[in-house]
Amino acid sequence: IFRKTPSKRGVQVITGLGKYFRQIDKNRNGFLSQAALKEALKVFHLEMPEGDFESLWLILDDSKSDKVDYGKFTHAIFGEMNEYRKAFERKAYMKLDFNKTGSVPMVDVRKCYCAK
């Protein structure tokens, strides 16, 4: 589905899938059913033969729970962050967690970040 170095469309699809997964996860548990994953792939024009989807599902549903962790799915697609990105993430988090509590309330994120 994805190349080693994703194209612009590839990046848009991957980020779009993550957003879509969060939207359809009504109970916010981080998991998707087989039907929900199949529908998401269809929405993003990533349909595949049923046999290939079944193979994908077997790999993703390693706990045999009939649901997949979409964070693990997107991590498998994106891969591990390189050290530069990890360092950048740590610096950003330290700036946001100015009270050093170990968590950042949304109100503090809004003070420092504009998504426009």
CATH number at residue 30: 1.10.238.10
Q: At what angle do helices 8-24 and 70-78 cross, to 10 degrees?
A: 170
Residues 89, 72, single domain; the answer is no
Residues 74, 90, single domain; the answer is no
- Domain housing 17: 9-78
- Full pLDDT tens readout for the chain, 116 residues: 444 445 666 778 877 888 898 888 888 888 989 999 899 889 988 888 999 999 988 888 888 888 888 887 777 767 777 888 889 888 888 888 877 888 888 887 787 777 66
Reported residue count of the chain is: 116
pLDDT at 2: 45
pTM, entire model? 0.58
Q: Is residue 3 part of a domain?
A: no
- Give me the number of domains the chain comprises: 2
Residues 16, 32, single domain; the answer is yes
